[in-house]
Amino acid sequence: MTPENKFNKNVLYVLNKIKERSLYTKTGALLEYWVLFDFLDGSGETPLPKDEIAILEKLEEWGAIKIKMSAWEYE
């Protein structure tokens, strides 16, 4: 798979995840998006957490979302 294809596949993954979360989110409320570092499925079908964060920042750059807050949550 070319880098472009891999990137596009990961973008679609993040977009789908946002779309799904938006269905569970109260209208008008901010959407919660978790990037899970403690769950690696190893299938290669999901992006690496660092790539997922980079794509969120890309989506913000493209004007599709605004990141209002981000925070680490430790166990």
Q: Tokens in use for 44?
A: 């290669």
- DSSP 3-state assignment of 45? coil
For residue 14, what are the CA distances in angstroms to 3, 34, 39? Answer: 17, 11, 16
| Smallest distance, another protein to C-beta of residue 70, A | 5
Among 3, 5, 24, 26, which residue sits at the site for another protein (rule: CB under 8 A)?
Answer: 5
* Range 15-74, binding another protein (CB under 8 A): 15-16, 18-19, 22, 30-38, 49, 53, 56, 59, 62-74
| Smallest distance, another protein to C-beta of residue 25, A | 9
